[in-house]
């Protein structure tokens, strides 16, 4: 059966029309997406300016198609976000066979300053988790200490783990993951070091690199990354990024808070998953800084989902 030239042209025209429709639809969708992100960027910039705070933001969808940041390489006091690389190094050493998560450490409250080696203690009054202080002299597994360090932000658990793992090892792992914006010098509440400006610091980009490595299963290995995500999902302080998202969306995140410093860094398991890091400096009221992070999280979610 022979198809006429006119019939062939009709079939070809239909195919071209269909192709154009697909291209136009995808182009329109892409344009609309870019417009939404641009509007969100403007709203966030205005919100930051109105807050009076110093703010850094790093946002990246895990499909790699949307990346946006504000002051991503500015340094901030890391506060408790530095506990994330401590967790990564714990799982790294477990994967290497240097220790097991079931290994125990005797709980003690005496550490040594990096300035001169002089001893110092932590105060339960300055710690968001106080139960560990009540069992000094008893043993707890490194896995339990990690859980307390991340979900309850225990300073005492953090210092015990840093002493076990070694700061140099933590720093080497940070470097290996391409997160040199994160600098871990010491444990928590080393007053002499603080007075000399010897602090743990981070950038939004550096912290995002650690969270992306965990999200992609590259921080240590896939199994370890899944375990770390599960711990981060059990975070008890949810006034920042999670508060800006619809209920029911899983968020694996770690907060950090000291005087006039308030951070949140997360893997957001939305329909289109993404990494979001927000660092805030300069606000006395943590309710204000939490509201700022909530608003930024909300704008970026609405623009990209």
Q: Calculate the CA 43 to chain-centre distance.
A: 22
Report if residue 126 sits inside a domain: no
User: What domain range is 287 assigned to?
Assistant: 9-75+203-304
Question: Based on C-alpha coordinates, what's the Rg of the chain?
Answer: 24
109, 220, 167, 122: CA torsion to nearest 10: -20
Q: 42 is written with which tokens?
A: 């403007």
Q: Provide the pLDDT for residue 14.
A: 59
Report if residue 267 sits inside a domain: yes
Per residue of the chain (305 residues), give pLDDT as tens: 445 545 544 544 454 345 434 434 444 556 677 888 899 999 999 999 999 999 999 999 999 999 999 999 999 999 999 999 999 999 999 999 999 999 999 999 999 999 999 999 999 999 999 999 999 999 999 999 999 999 999 999 999 999 999 999 999 999 999 999 999 999 999 999 999 999 999 999 999 999 999 999 999 999 999 999 999 999 999 999 999 999 999 999 999 999 999 999 999 999 999 999 999 999 999 999 999 999 999 999 999 99
256 neighbors 80 (Cβ within 8 angstroms) = yes
Q: Provide the pLDDT for residue 57.
A: 98
Report if residue 289 sits inside a domain: yes
CATH number at residue 296: 3.40.710
Report if residue 36 sits inside a domain: yes
Report if residue 173 sits inside a domain: no
Report if residue 153 sits inside a domain: no
State pTM to two decimals: 0.90
Q: 20 is written with which tokens?
A: 């154009």
Report if residue 260 sits inside a domain: yes
Chain length of the chain: 305
Report if residue 296 sits inside a domain: yes
Q: Quote the number of domains for the chain.
A: 1
């Amino acid at each position: 059966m022979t198809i006429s030239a006119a019939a062939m042209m009709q079939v070809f025209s239909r195919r071209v029309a269909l192709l154009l429709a697909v291209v136009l639809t995808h182009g329109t969708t892409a344009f609309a997406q870019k417009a939404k992100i641009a509007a969100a960027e403007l709203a966030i910039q205005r919100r930051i300016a109105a807050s009076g705070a110093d703010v850094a933001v790093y946002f990246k969808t895990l499909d790699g198609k949307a990346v946006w940041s504000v002051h991503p390489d500015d340094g901030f006091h890391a506060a408790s976000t530095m506990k994330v690389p401590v967790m990564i190094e714990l799982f790294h050493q477990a994967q290497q066979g240097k220790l097991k998560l079931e290994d125990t450490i005797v709980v003690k409250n005496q550490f040594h300053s990096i300035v001169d080696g002089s001893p110092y203690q932590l105060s339960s009054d300055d710690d968001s988790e106080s139960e560990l202080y009540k069992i000094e002299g008893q043993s707890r597994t490194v896995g339990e200490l990690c859980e307390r360090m991340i979900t309850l932000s225990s300073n005492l658990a953090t210092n015990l783990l840093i002493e076990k793992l070694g700061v140099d090892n933590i720093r080497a792992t940070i470097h290996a993951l391409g997160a040199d914006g994160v600098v871990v010098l010491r444990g928590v509440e080393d007053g002499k070091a603080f007075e000399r400006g010897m602090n743990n610091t981070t950038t939004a980009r550096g912290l995002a690199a650690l969270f992306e490595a965990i999200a992609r299963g590259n921080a240590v290995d896939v199994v370890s990354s899944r375990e770390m995500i599960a711990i981060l999902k059990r975070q008890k302080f949810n006034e920042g990024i999670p508060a800006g998202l619809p209920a029911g969306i899983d968020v694996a995140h770690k907060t950090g808070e000291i005087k006039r410093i308030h951070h949140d860094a997360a893997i957001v398991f939305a329909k289109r998953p993404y990494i979001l890091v927000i660092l805030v400096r300069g606000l006395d009221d943590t309710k204000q800084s939490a509201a700022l992070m909530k608003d930024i999280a909300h704008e970026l979610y609405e623009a990209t989902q």
